[in-house]
Amino acid sequence: HHHHHRRRNGHKAIPKSMTSTLSCFGMGPCFSRRATYSDIADRSEQHEISFQIFSVIDHVKNDADAAIIRRRVEQEILHDACTVEEYTRGASVQQKTVADLQKGILRYLQTKDKYTSLGSMLLKSQAFHLVYGNRSVEQDNHGNNGDDNGNGNGNDDHNKTPDAPSQSLRVVNLPRTRYKKPYIPSKPGTSYDGEFPVESLYPFSVSHQMPFVGIARYNTTQATPHAMIGLDVVAFDAYNPKLYNNEQEFIDIFHESFTQWELSRINMDMDGVTSSSRLYELYVRWSMKEAYTKALGVGMGLGFSSFDIRLEKFDTMDESGGSFPTPTDPAVWPFIETSGRTGIWSRAQIIHREKSSG
């Protein structure tokens, strides 16, 4: 689920080839789509959002002792990594920066966490290079180092630059806000009037949960500080029967993360759907809340039980925030499951409450 602030109606999906930053590191293949959103207030204003997600499952299976990722991180991928400041002044390789970034990936005990962390770093770095004008990231002029997973020969001709450099782009470590949200700083030489916080200039959002790593970002090099974007990836994992007696017991541990309204929505009687529908409904609704707080950039600073998220066409819209869902309201997950769709697009109403008790 990705939360897109204010602009949600109208979309078109265009499959897009793997981008070379990932293919040359062998992190593919990658599912991509683009969606165009019209501004609800001004229909003439169009915003294209690019969404990519890929799986690291094959890498993890083939690298049980993490020897491959260790070698690649140390010798190939992060050997010349840098900070934004080092990149913009063209500094030579700073060994401390490189060592810190390598340690940041390799410190994880489990191989799967090393791979999802590296994938997230590569997607953030790719977003940086696209904003800073290295459009060659859209095409495969790096070769793909013998990795036969995705040729990344971008199909967007308007993004291709003549005589693009053939060396691979450096991985760039982005700064973070005090809420730990990574951001792309303003480009050197661009006028920045300070009207918006610097961290909101180039909105993007990354998320990962094994085996998936994903990014959503505005498909433009222009600053769009009036917009927000949040992405949350949730894998539909079964509950652990060693820890919980049944599914409902697992669902109940989330009761402080939802309002009473949302809990009643998750626990609705879902006749004729699979037994895991309640659990999946919880995951879908959880990811919406996670994506929204990530779009705001406040992380855990906003209590999950302090706001409802209601979807148009699914949930009873109510300005006072008091009404309970009616039995005729369709649940989100069963709708997706029974309609044969791969997902839904919906505008949302978000109701913030005075007290976080719900």
For the chain, give the longest Cα–Cα distance.
Answer: 63
Element (H, E) at 285: helix 277-296
Report strand pairing: 30-38 vs 348-352: unpaired
What is the phi/psi pair of residue 263, to 5°?
-60, -40
pLDDT of residue 46: 63
Helix (H) or strand (E) holding 37, with range, is strand 30-38
Confidence of residue 354 (pLDDT cuts 50, 70, 90): low
Measured at the CA of 176, the angle between CA 214 and CA 193, to 5 degrees, comes to 105
Mean pLDDT of the chain: 75
Q: Are 181 and 197 within 8 A, CB to CB?
A: no
Name all domains of the chain by residue range, CATH numbers in brackets. Answer: 18-134+169-233 (no CATH), 236-357 (3.90.470)
pLDDT at 148: 32
Tell me the percentage of the chain whose pLDDT exceeds 90.
Answer: 32
Stronger pLDDT, 241 or 25, i.e. the higher one:
241
pLDDT score, position 70 = 94
Neighbours of 230 (CB within 10 A): 26
Model pTM?
0.77
The set of residues, in sequence order, having a beta carbon less than 8 Å from that of 211 and lying 6+ positions away, is: 55, 56, 57, 60, 112, 116, 235
Average pLDDT in the 151-177 region?
56
Q: Does 233 have pLDDT greater than 50?
A: yes
Q: Which helix (H) or strand (E) element contains residue 218?
A: strand 212-218
* pLDDT bucket at 29, cuts 50 / 70 / 90: low
pLDDT (mean) for 249-277: 80
Q: Check residues 249 and 269 and name the one with the higher pLDDT.
A: 249
Q: Does 79 or 143 have the greater pLDDT score? A: 79
Nearest CA to 164 among 172, 173, 174, 153? 153
Q: How far apart are CA 242 and CA 207, in angstroms?
A: 28
- Convert the pLDDT of each residue in 88-103 to its tens digit: 988 899 999 999 999 9
Pairing of strands 46-55, 212-218: antiparallel
Q: How far apart are CA 157 and CA 138, in angstroms?
A: 9
Cis peptide before 15 (omega within 30 of 0): no
Q: Chain centroid to CA 278: how far?
A: 24
Mean pLDDT is highest, among 114-118, 131-135, 258-262, for: 114-118
Q: Using the structure block, give the residue that is written with the tokens 């017991």.
A: 249
Residue 228's CB: how many other CB atoms inside 10 A?
A: 19
